[in-house]
Structure 1
């Protein structure tokens, strides 16, 4: 091989390697970008195989219920983010909304929750403001045995019914499904009391530790109808229920 031909072979080889380096480096660099500000209506976070793991969205682009990648549309009326497990099923989220209602008073809520596998909210941290008052606190729930997919499918079937039949169908499903039952609440109640409430399997408060705004503290024992049966004051005094 002549010297000029050998030079061309080496030269083309160097160019090929250089081009490959540029292309590979450029491809890698395009995966990372820095922005000072982004305006977006929705962001979907996915694994490399396409599994959805988180959605951040405004109200109009907010997802319905998603189980193993299938979405069951329904209107939530909130913005925020939803979390999904390794199978692409909803497992909690952070949502919020707020505006002035038709009566001229604010209606505001914020809610962070976490779900067991294929169930609804087992743990929630929330604030709700309606009718001039607000309540905020931590709630622990019994979630029952009804899979969340069954609840979403029932909602889908009921929405497809004629309007005259929906109320009866909703009641029939509610009678058979196991509802979400709050078992513990700790926070501020709507009437301004700092409280720890322990509830029975029906969601009825049976034991309540409370501190009034003026500092008065007491322990209430309640029956299944919500009537106080016994009260212990901070000074050890005891009073019967009314």
Structure 2
């Protein structure tokens, strides 16, 4: 009998499974509902309690330094009256930052939106962004707080959306480096197509077909 022969396990039931490298470092985690891992970066949980109470299962990815760098999460819940929410999200993160590519589905009692999104992120480590956000919440002056939040959000914008929105429009939306939507291609729920170019203030400056 060959003791080195790979053994085949036909079935295994687990609530959480870590895939590790030869040194025992976690590279990928598969988890069932109630077992979502914490958001680890630089060896610390940067968002304590984040999504711990949500009905989520999935797979999380970890880079060579042990930082979470994306993953697949999915889940749904339905209350006694029959109302439900169902969602799925596949993300890939920028190094030491948040997601820059996301494929998602969101369904809230039949109100659906889904698509692909691409983001810009600043070259500031996410733990620093989280800490700055916490400090901003302690600012009592509302105008000062708003200014600080806008400064923090600089460089963090959705650049591309392609999918279906709650209005039933199928759309491709392209935004500039400030997050301002500049090109919009749409087929609406009445199957009427249009293409629009916008200025920095969001005004349509050219459209196909031309607006009458």
TM-score by length of 1: 0.71
Which whole-Å CA distance do the structure 2 matches of 1:105 and 1:229 have between them? Answer: 42
> Once the 2 structures are TM-superposed, how far is the Cα of residue 53 of structure 1 from its aligned partner?
0.5
1:72-87 equivalences under 5 Å are 72=46, 73-76=48-51, 77=54, 78-87=56-65
The residue number in structure 2 matching 1:97 is 75
* Aligned residue number for residue 38 of structure 2: 64
Give the Cα separation in 2 of the matches to 1:69 and 1:36: 35
User: Is the 1:65–1:152 Cα contact (8 Å) retained in structure 2?
Assistant: no
Higher radius of gyration, 1 or 2: 1
> Paired residue for 1:46?
20
The number of aligned residues is: 202
Where does the alignment leave 5 or more consecutive residues of structure 2 unmatched? 140-144
Return the offset for 1:101. Answer: 5.7
- What whole-Å deviation, never above 9, does each CA across 1:4-62 have from its counterpart, x for those lacking one? xxxxxxxxxxxxxxxxxx8xx64x45xx4422222111001111112210011123111
- Give the C-alpha shift of residue 204 in structure 1: 3.0
Residue deviations 1:183-221 (CA, integer Å, cap 9, x gap): 011111221111110112343322101112343211122
State yes or no: 1:194 paired with 2:170: yes
Tell me what 2:111 maps to: 133
- Alignment pair present for 1:168 and 2:138: yes
Partner residue of 1:18?
Answer: none
Cα distance in 1, alignment partners of residues 177 and 79 from structure 2: 34
Partner SS, residue 239 of structure 1: coil
Structure having the higher strand fraction is 2
Give the whole-Å Cα distance in 2 for the aligned partners of 1:153 and 1:167. 10
Contact 1:146 1:177 in 2 (8 A): no
Pair 1:81–1:154, CA change in 2 (3 A): farther
CA RMSD of aligned residues (A): 3.0
Instruction: Identify the residue that residue 239 of structure 1 maps to in structure 2.
Output: 211
Higher relative contact order (CA 8 A, sep 6+): 2
d(CA) in 1 for partners of 2:37, 2:83? 28
CA change 1:101–1:175 in 2 (3 A) is: farther
Q: 1:146 to 1:38 in 2, by over 3 A?
A: same
Q: Distance in 2 between matches of 1:39 and 1:121?
A: 30
Flag structure 1 segments of 5+ consecutive residues without an equivalent: 1-21, 159-164
Q: Does 1:216 align with 2:195?
A: no
